[in-house]
Structure 1
Amino acid sequence: MKRVTDDTRRRSAWQRIARFVAGFAGVACSCVALAQEPFPTMEALSGNSRAAFVDREAPLSQSGNAKLPGQVPSGIQQTEFSVENLLDEPLVDVVIEGNKTILPNAIMRYIETRPGRVASSRMIQQDVTALYNTRWFLSVRPFYRQTEAGPVLVFEVVERPILRSVQFKGNKKVKSSELQAHTGLRRGHGFDVAANLESVERIKQLYREKGYRFAEVILEKGGSKDDRDAVFLITEGPKVKIGDVNFYGNSFSRDGVLKTKISSKTAILWLIGGDYDPEIVRNDILALKQYYMNLGFFDVQIEAEEKFYDNNAKVAVNFKIEEGRRYRVREIDVVGNEVIGTQRLLSDLKLSRKEYFNARFLREDVNEMKDQYDDLGRLFATVEPTPRFLEDNPGWVDLVYQIDEDVPRYVGQINIHIRGENPHTKEDVVRLQASRYLIPGTLARGRDMRMAQARINGSGIWDRADPPTFDIKPTSGRDYFPSIATRGQSEDVTIEFTPRERTSLQETGASTVQIPESVFGHSGLTPFASETPKPVANPTPVGEIPAWNGRDQWIQQSGPSAPPSQVQPTHSGETSRPSLGLDPDMVFRGQSEPMLAPRGQSINGYGQQVPQDYMQGVSPQGDPFGDALSAQPPGFVDVNIDVTEGRTGRLMFGVGVNSDAGVVGSLVLQEDNFNILRAPRSFADIINGQAWRGAGQSFRMEAVPGSQVSRYMVSWQDPFFLRTDFSLGVSGFYYNRFFRHWTEDRLGGRLSVGYVLNRYWSVNTALRLEDVKVRDFVTPAPADLEAVRGDNFLSTGSVTLSYDTRDNAFVPSRGNNLDVTYEQGFGEFNYPRFDVSAGQYFTVYERPDGYGKHILAITSQSGWTGDGTPIFERYYAGGYSSFRGFAFRGVTPYEGNVEVGGNFMALGSVEYMIPITADDNIRTVLFSDFGTVEPDEGFDQFRASAGFGFRLVIPAMGPAPLAFDFAWPIMKEESDRTRVFSFYIGFTR
């Protein structure tokens, strides 16, 4: 080809060809491709750094045909060019061609290639992508044009039609700006008929989400390719509210109970909530089916019918239910068990023979069986219930528990990972929380795993939205055994490891350990059922049975029923069976084949197989085979604990009122991940939240001013003082109380040391030092009150033993609690003191779904203190928290008209709680309180009262219920002060 410019560098043609092949072949190929084929789609270019969607308004040219800068004047002839020469030369210009309405300068803002530079294929591709992302063009084609001055890069574009205006008509409930943002249509953007039609559906969907189910949208303009405006005509219609929810055909459960199982609710006071959504109604059908199937109604059929009225502004949702028969359990059997006998597994079933099927009881039974294997370290043992129906015996179901017993496993490494880029918390905080229950080399018991997880979850440090997870990884444990140095011995030699032996395992300091896929075929198994919620891959609602098409989806078998001992599990060739809907944390599939004990072997106390030694007692040398016939060694598990730091600092405001203390306010600053040794090293530590954080300690400041009582306190606690299981707490406080006959001020501090003995037992010791000021009492006063006038220094030491098995701290329904305290005063006041409080809780009745509990509570508190006890430390009773029917401190010995307290107290209460609403948020209580406060031991002045009350739970106001009680004294003393109504209301945010 003819050369257009001189080669000033005097290079040979061969050098140019080599340079072209080595460095710039891609440019020539891309130019040819772009000139002959459509440019790649946006999806193909989405990986480019500038390929993100850019929705921009096109600057419109007034003339409609812009002058293109850089075009060669008509008097200059354009010639062909040599590719080799072109690629070595900088561009003399970059021009736009084909634009009719968009200004060239606006287009050039998105082009990085500039005159005076040598162009590259990558830069050109980026420019083309950026132009496509503006959505101004249907096509963009780059090519080179050679001129006398040098090469010119040309972008030939074909413009999209431009949208001149967007208009919404008839919309009153939704603003036009919101509709425009929802559709994405804007003036100056590309006109697209398909986008306009899609916007019609988007607007309809937006109205549906807002409750306007009958909204209609018509595209008046913008449906033709010749249009340049988009006009939407909207008929909003009424906002549909659920006016009524009805159930027909239900005889087992009343309407109020069924309403607690669905999400479709009527509006509160015709204003709040009650929006109608047909998708929610469909989900309600599934929820109702699961509720019935959980209770054994496997043939239940439910459908919903919606009836609109009041000009389509309201809808009545009618659920039509065919409950069918409720199934009973006929026979129960266990297969696959060798280590634990069948009689032991079935000894204490909640779901027993002849009882109605109940998924909740079934889940508890599976948990109980699994716990028995967990206690033997067989973490991956599975218990899977299989239902069997018989056609000739309708209404009955057989249950077969299929068990894979696994092998005993021991704790291997404990690996801690704190999620996030810059965590504040030390790994030792997590390790100390788990170290009491997870010790490398010890038997990996499921109970210990659950306790460790419960302890970590309950610390309050970790994010509740992303709670801590325990990843239990099975491993062979080969690296944990002592090395085998015997020459010629195989690495696969069997090593007997009895539960009484201990390895020299040390806790790893690594934060993460990569564990390969195990022989189980998967990793990350969670082999135990935690008592606290934790994430699962595919969560199933607790207490729910996954929806199925009725019992016909399960296995049916005709013929005579088999006796219990002959009930067999389903074989793989039969129709697949669904799960009974147990918590996925309890049942694990895809695990290794069961390792059953050979016939004739016995089982030791840890569930391991013990080979028979037929030479024992015969050969004086013992077993001639030594350890060669040892049982298969147990496995190991590595415990990977992942946690995410939560917002541990809280500033809380609250207000409360009760009949004993009047009105009180509350301002609390609390940090649950405090570090008293982490002082700020710079101002950046304070800004980044590094200062005073990361050790898992607790720091709290509170101010509680009130009309009758005020308290101000600062406290600090370390739950693992000096890396031990002992907790250390220090607090300082100021307390003021206006009593009926004097005013009391307390300024002091408290030092406490605690220790958790096990899941239920704990012990705590405390040293209390206070300056107690008694003032503002009328003289003449009793001698005991006059003796403590002014300031008094009180010093005591105490020890408390606590036991607690309650299932809920605020509204317990099962379990009991016990606190026994001995306190000794010394110094200015020398006296002994014993206090005992206890409670026992029973569930007398509950619905089959576990709600609607009738709870019987029996509680008591008693105490005795020595003769040297000052008047401000004696016993008083009366009020909502101790003796209802009497005023605060209305039960006490008197001297004259002054309450002086007693040295002996014995109080008891019996309370029966009944739910009023089906969701248990409103309950009524019937109660009787009784007891006495005496100067000395005895029951000379016994009192009793009886009454009723209400408990109201409002989730937004916290877990503690609001209490309103009415009580009347049955037995009382003449000097007692009574009060019929007592209450407690609290609110914290």
Structure 2
Amino acid sequence: MTKTWIWIGLVAVAAAMLSGHGCAPGETESGEAAALQLERPGQKVVRSIAFEGNKKLKEKELKQRLGFRVGDYLDEVLAELGRRSIKEHYRTKGFPRTEVEMSMDATQENQIHVRYRIVEGARVRVKSVKFVGNKGIKSGALQKVLTTKTRKWGVMASYYNQDTVDGDLLKLQSIYADRGYLNHEIRAEGDEHIVFHIEEGPIYHVRDVLFEGADTVREAELKDRLNEGLELEPGRPYWKTKADEHADRLRKMFRERGYINAQVDQTPWHVMEQGQQANVVDVKYRLEPGEQFRIGRVDVTGNADTQDKVVRHILDEYDFTPGELYNADIAPLSGGGSLEKRIRRQMLADEARIRPMDSNQPGQKDAQVDVKEGLTGMVMPGIGVSSDSGFIGRLIYQQRNFDITDWPESFEEFISLKSFRGGGQTLRISLEPGTEVSQYSFNYTEPYMQDKPTSFDLSGMSFERYRESHDEGRLKGMVVIEQRLKNKWRPSLGLRGETVEISSLDRDAPREIRRVSGDNALVGVRLGMTRYLVDDEWEPATGRVYGLAYEQVTGDHNFGLLTGQYAWYHTLATDLADRKTVLATKFLGGMAVGEAPPFERFYAGGTGAYGIRGFKYRGVSPRGLQTNVLPPRIPKRKDPIGSEWIAIAGTELAVPVVGDSLSWLLFIDAGWIDSGGIRAGVGTGIQIMIPQWFGPVPMRFSLAVPMMKDGEDKTEVFSFSAGGLF
């Protein structure tokens, strides 16, 4: 019983102590301090907290920085810490010259009044940021990585923040270390005018490349891997970024072979010559391959609405299946591998993570694929506009996790959109009426026909467009089957059936158009072969894409269409913020075999597939002679009738400006057709990546000047488009 009363007493004391701290915030309605609970020697209870001189920051905000409240016990140390915290908070808000004084007035009741007198000073606006002493790295390159700017987004004023400057200082130090300046010193001074003083020191060069722990792989093979496109060899400057890239390449080699825990680190070892440190280093790679594993069981979790096979199809295409070596390069332990990215893109998943799990079998690791399903279906109304097609109204339904076999069991299930889901297929239905072109279409895609990396695409379209001398209407159905091979080739077979109606002819329409007036029935069989050798199929920065296709068309007209493409992407530079400047070059060609009707020939200009910026859509074409022109007027070649062949060449440089969303474009476009000479346009523009639920969509605005043209060509200076990269 005695112990029970002791516990009750302790609980009561604890509750009394907590109540002194737990009143929110320990003040009565009149602001008076709560009644005292227990006294502490050397400490007094805060009766009130007051601020003077704070005009820019509110009292409530400052109180949150103190670490104590009215009703708390306080001594001079805690009060001083509060003063420093307030001053630091002002500093982070752009007031580096703020002064804060603190006073404590005691009362006879063992209570104190705490008062902070604040002289805020002016909020310091950053007017200039300069570098002094830098010779090896230009100021412009250093400026790009700084967070400290004179203006935000090029418009808003930027204010001094010591934490930001300290962070920029660390960035600069890292950059110089990466570039081989191993003995550099950097300091920052100033607030309104910030100056980074840089003592670069010498650049260190590579003397030799060494390996430690290379028992699993021959040293000769390791050096071969290092020499594949990277430049870090004896005599060259030591760049930490390149040395790290070499380490990544070696790590990739091991992880591709099932060494999921492989670690490769590089260290520059300073070389001593005659008892003094020389400006050279030996780059030493320490290899720890660890144990090699094959894949055991593969489990898929988190896919409540999506069938397992949707994920397993992707895994099969990447050879990530039971019995294969566990490729930890495409599915690394840290996540974010290319296989996980492919799963996210294919499924439109919010997250995808592949984890190795312990297995009962030696030399094996089970794989667990965790997915977090995202939004796969949407109904999107909107309005679009482009310089090629005018204004377009849009109502689009798209489901990226469609299942044609999942028929509804009830009308309610159909209405609630719980049916036709889970198969990883795509269904898109679009209604797009416009001022110049109207299109109504549906498209169904099965990316893994018969559980193989072969896509099946079925589409139908009704199309109407006002042409220069007539109206053109198309009603088309198409089937395309494309196989994705291991060597990156993609053979394809396509079949189309189409009716093309040429109507509402102008009185002076050329005879080439009059010959095809009315309905024209076409049936075409197309064979194609394309190879994708790019780092990212959606946003390529390096690599090539090339292909060739031939379509034989019969029906009311008999002809063939031979087309080819070649695109090359090269990263010219990666800035200090890891943004890439990409040079892209493309070549497109097409030729009609036999006599193709005008609506199947080739037209250049605009921003489409055969675009030449600086020229209007279909602005580069042979012209047909006017008909029904009465004397004394003379017939002219006015309306385009299409070319029998075409060749397009273009080069574009994309330079990142703001983050990954805004890029500056410089380009040259050129083209040839079967009449006139070469056409060429030179210009500049911007590209804005607009985030969408299925990924970023580029919006492009271009200004171009036609440098070489034919007298009959139609030109335009400004063009804009959305949804297509170069």
Tell me how far 1:817 sits from its aligned partner.
Answer: 1.0
For 1:435, which of 304, 313, 316 is the aligned residue? 316
Contact 1:418 1:427 in 2 (8 A): no
Cα distance in structure 2, aligned partners of 1:42 and 1:697: 65
Match of 1:960 in 2: 698
The secondary structure found in structure 1 opposite 2:599 is helix
Please say if 1:887 is aligned against 2:616: yes
Give the letter aligned to residue 161 of structure 2: D
Match of 2:41 in 1: none
The secondary structure found in structure 1 opposite 2:13 is coil
Match of 1:456 in 2: 343
Cα distance in structure 2, aligned partners of 1:166 and 1:652: 55
Please say if 1:387 is aligned against 2:268: yes
- Greater mean alpha carbon deviation, residues 800-809 or residues 952-961: 952-961
Match of 1:282 in 2: 166
Match of 1:753 in 2: 481
Judged with a 3 Å threshold, the aligned counterparts in structure 2 of structure 1 residues 854 and 409 are, in CA distance, closer, same or farther, namely closer
Match of 2:551 in 1: 823
Match of 2:672 in 1: 931
| 1:71-470 alignment, distance < 5 Å | 138=37, 171-174=54-57, 191-192=71-72, 194=74, 207-215=90-98, 235-268=119-152, 272=156, 274-307=158-191, 315-347=192-224, 349=227, 350=230, 351-392=232-273, 394-406=278-290, 408-418=292-302, 423-436=304-317, 437-445=319-327, 449=331, 452-463=339-350, 467-470=351-354
Cα distance in structure 1, aligned partners of 2:586 and 2:50: 71
Match of 1:977 in 2: 713
Please say if 1:35 is aligned against 2:9: yes
| 1:488-887 alignment, distance < 5 Å | 635-649=363-377, 658-664=386-392, 668-677=396-405, 693-758=421-486, 760-779=488-507, 781-807=509-535, 812-842=540-570, 846=573, 857-867=584-594, 869-881=596-608, 882-887=611-616
Contact 1:951 1:961 in 2 (8 A): no
Match of 1:908 in 2: 648
Give the letter aligned to residue 549 of structure 2: T
Cα distance in structure 2, aligned partners of 1:229 and 1:928: 76
Tell me how far 1:462 sits from its aligned partner.
Answer: 1.8
- Greater mean alpha carbon deviation, residues 801-810 or residues 650-659: 650-659
| Higher strand residue share | 2
Tell me how far 1:240 sits from its aligned partner.
Answer: 2.9
Tell me how far 1:301 sits from its aligned partner.
Answer: 0.9
Please say if 1:477 is aligned against 2:361: yes
- Identity within the alignment, %: 24
Tell me how far 1:816 sits from its aligned partner.
Answer: 1.4
Contact 1:866 1:903 in 2 (8 A): no
Tell me how far 1:339 sits from its aligned partner.
Answer: 4.7
Cα distance in structure 1, aligned partners of 2:523 and 2:71: 85
Cα distance in structure 2, aligned partners of 1:692 and 1:181: 54
Which structure is richer in relative contact order (CA contacts within 8 A, separation 6 or more)?
1
Tell me how far 1:863 sits from its aligned partner.
Answer: 1.7
For 1:945, which of 668, 671, 679 is the aligned residue? 679
Give the letter aligned to residue 132 of structure 2: Y
- Greater mean alpha carbon deviation, residues 686-695 or residues 454-463: 686-695
Give the letter aligned to residue 148 of structure 2: S
Judged with a 3 Å threshold, the aligned counterparts in structure 2 of structure 1 residues 181 and 802 are, in CA distance, closer, same or farther, namely same
The secondary structure found in structure 2 opposite 1:817 is strand
Contact 2:494 2:527 in 1 (8 A): yes
Tell me how far 1:257 sits from its aligned partner.
Answer: 0.8
Tell me how far 1:814 sits from its aligned partner.
Answer: 3.1
Tell me how far 1:826 sits from its aligned partner.
Answer: 4.4
Contact 1:381 1:404 in 2 (8 A): yes
Give the letter aligned to residue 440 of structure 1: P
Output the TM-score relative to the length of structure 1.
0.60
Contact 2:142 2:576 in 1 (8 A): no
- Residues 126-182 of structure 1: CA deviation (Å, up to 9, x unaligned): xxxxxxxxx98848xxxxxxxxxxxxxxxxxxxx9997x987665554556766788
Tell me how far 1:766 sits from its aligned partner.
Answer: 3.6
Contact 1:256 1:918 in 2 (8 A): no
Tell me how far 1:248 sits from its aligned partner.
Answer: 0.8
- Greater mean alpha carbon deviation, residues 452-461 or residues 245-254: 452-461
Give the letter aligned to residue 130 of structure 2: N
- Residues 478-536 of structure 1: CA deviation (Å, up to 9, x unaligned): 4xxxxxxxxxxxxxxxxxxxxxxxxxxxxxxxxxxxxxxxxxxxxxxxxxxxxxxxxxx
Judged with a 3 Å threshold, the aligned counterparts in structure 2 of structure 1 residues 192 and 890 are, in CA distance, closer, same or farther, namely same
Cα distance in structure 2, aligned partners of 1:57 and 1:693: 57
Cα distance in structure 2, aligned partners of 1:748 and 1:888: 22
Judged with a 3 Å threshold, the aligned counterparts in structure 2 of structure 1 residues 703 and 199 are, in CA distance, closer, same or farther, namely farther
- Residues 956-978 of structure 1: CA deviation (Å, up to 9, x unaligned): 67563634242334363x4x314
| 1:22-61 alignment, distance < 5 Å | 29-35=3-9, 39-40=13-14, 55=24
Output the TM-score relative to the length of structure 2.
0.79
The secondary structure found in structure 2 opposite 1:239 is coil
Contact 1:658 1:982 in 2 (8 A): no
Tell me how far 1:740 sits from its aligned partner.
Answer: 1.6
Cα distance in structure 2, aligned partners of 1:902 and 1:34: 98
Judged with a 3 Å threshold, the aligned counterparts in structure 2 of structure 1 residues 429 and 780 are, in CA distance, closer, same or farther, namely same
Q: Gapped runs of 5+ residues in structure 1?
A: 1-24, 46-51, 62-100, 103-134, 140-159, 308-314, 479-634, 935-940
Judged with a 3 Å threshold, the aligned counterparts in structure 2 of structure 1 residues 177 and 191 are, in CA distance, closer, same or farther, namely same
Cα distance in structure 2, aligned partners of 1:711 and 1:781: 24
Judged with a 3 Å threshold, the aligned counterparts in structure 2 of structure 1 residues 237 and 751 are, in CA distance, closer, same or farther, namely farther
The secondary structure found in structure 2 opposite 1:442 is coil
Contact 1:846 1:853 in 2 (8 A): yes
- Residues 336-381 of structure 1: CA deviation (Å, up to 9, x unaligned): 3345332232135221221111233223323333344445444444
Q: Gapped runs of 5+ residues in structure 2?
A: 39-43, 332-336, 626-636
Tell me how far 1:390 sits from its aligned partner.
Answer: 1.1
Count of paired positions: 682
Contact 2:697 2:722 in 1 (8 A): no
